[in-house]
Amino acid sequence: MITLHHVPQSRSMRVLWLLHELEVPDFQVQVHPFDKSLRDPEFLTLSPAGRVPAMEIEGERMFESGAMIEYLCERFPERNLGREAGNPDRMAWLTWLHFAETVTVHGAALTQQHIMLYEDYMRSPYIMQLEAKRLAKCYEAIEARLSTPVENRDYLLTSGFSAVDIAVGQAVYVGRHFARIDAFPELSAWYERITERASFAETMAVGEQKLYLQEFYEPWPLPERSAT
């Protein structure tokens, strides 16, 4: 039995999306609020940093989403969402899997700035502007990849849809709340393509609590410098 500990719209979303796409039978989802309960001693036995995702598998525990994606693809190879050693796309699969976390750290920083810091004086327009620009640089990398002139470049890998589309797609899902993707046509088309999958709809249907209460959070303008 697999049990995923999940907070809606967080990193655990990518693992839940993958579980649905893999058509894993009889897995369970335990939904948690995004609050201090993740620091409870009981939960810390599952995830020592007090974060999601955490996953229980037949008495064993995992607490890193990238590791979970690799493990689940190996455990359920029949869905062909991983790329095994020796596969021509193995290097690209690993690269894009870990690039998902590069995108995510900027989205996480902006989530903290716009949502988690509850007093205006705690927030920094400099960080908001900087992290939004860093997200845009990540979008440029994805756009360049999807623009590579190969036949049927619908997904990040030449060999077709895989778990890295889910991992990077979830990171873009978070990022687009803070940096728009409209200026990136290939990225926008790819994002629409992967989020039309039934597995994405199933993922979004889990849990009532929402972290993002608006579609887009505009970076604060930088303060004007006083003349000297």
Could you report the average pLDDT of every consecutive run of 10 residues in the chain (228 residues)? 96 98 96 91 95 95 97 97 97 98 97 94 96 98 91 87 98 98 97 98 92 94 75
Look at the chain and report how many structural domains it folds into. Answer: 2
220 vs 205: CA distance, rounded Å: 31
- 15 touches 192 (CB < 8 A): no
Determine the pLDDT at residue 151: 65
44 and 66 co-located in one domain:
yes
The CATH number linked to 41 is 3.40.30.10
Domain closes at, from 52, 79, 106: 79
* pLDDT at 209 (0 to 100): 81
> What's the CATH code of the domain at 175?
1.20.1050.10
Tokens of 198: 């039934």
Torsion of CA 198, 170, 17, 39, to 10 degrees: -140
Report how far residue 39's alpha carbon sits from residue 54's, in angstroms, rounded to the nearest whole number.
13
Cβ-count burial of 130 within 10 angstroms (0-12 exposed, 13-18 middle, 19+ buried)? Answer: middle
Token pair of 94 as six digits: 């690993």
pLDDT at 118: 87
Whether 209 is covered by a domain: the verdict is no
β-strand partners of 55: 4, 62
Q: Are residues 25 and 55 in the same domain?
A: yes
* C-alpha–C-alpha distance, residues 12 and 110, integer Å: 18
pLDDT at residue 226, as a whole number: 62
Residue 223 has what pLDDT? 87
What is the reported pLDDT for 228? Answer: 56
Contacts of 45 (CB under 8 A, 6+ apart): 61
For residues 62 and 120, membership in a common domain is answered with no
pLDDT score, position 73: 98
In this structure, the answer to whether residues 105 and 188 fall within a common structural domain is yes
Is 220 part of any domain? no
**pLDDT score, position 227:** 57
Dihedral Cα 70, 73, 74, 80, nearest 10 deg:
-130
Give a yes or no: residue 204 inside a domain: no
* Token output for 188: 């926008």
List the domain range (segments joined by +) for residue 150: 90-197
CA distance 126 to 136: 16
Q: Does residue 202 lie within any of the structural domains?
A: no
Indicate whether 97 and 39 sit together in one domain.
Answer: no
Question: Would you say residue 52 lies in a domain?
Answer: yes
Where among 60, 79, 98 does a domain terminate? 79
Residue with tokens 């440029």: 140
Please state, in angstroms and rounded to a whole number, the distance separating the CA atoms of residues 187 and 191. Answer: 6
Domain ends where: 54, 79, 104? Answer: 79
Look at the block and give the residue holding tokens 């303008």: 221
**What was the pLDDT predicted at 148?**
82
Closest CA to 28 of 67, 70, 57, 71: 57
